[in-house]
Amino acid sequence: MKISIGAFDAATRTVAVTFEHDGVRHERAVNTCLDAKGGYDATATAARVDEVGRGVEYKIEAGVIGAAASPITVRE
């Protein structure tokens, strides 16, 4: 599983994350962790993203999350 974490979005308190496993690429926002002062906690967020990643990996292996289908081209 390859995981790429994007920048912190203060407005939504999320990070954009890309998960890649067995040729499947899955992108989603993950809620961040905040420290006692309400600031972004990158270390705790990375741990949360790893937890989410384990679920994503399982879902990919189970076929629940798969590669997106190619768009349909309509010719006239």
What residue ranges do the domains of the chain occupy? 2-62
* Of 18, 34, 16, the residue nearest 26 (C-alpha): 18
pLDDT per position as a tens digit, 50-60: 999 999 999 99
Which pLDDT does position 76 carry in this prediction?
72
Residues 31 and 34: their CA atoms lie apart, in Å, by: 10
Which pLDDT does position 70 carry in this prediction?
61
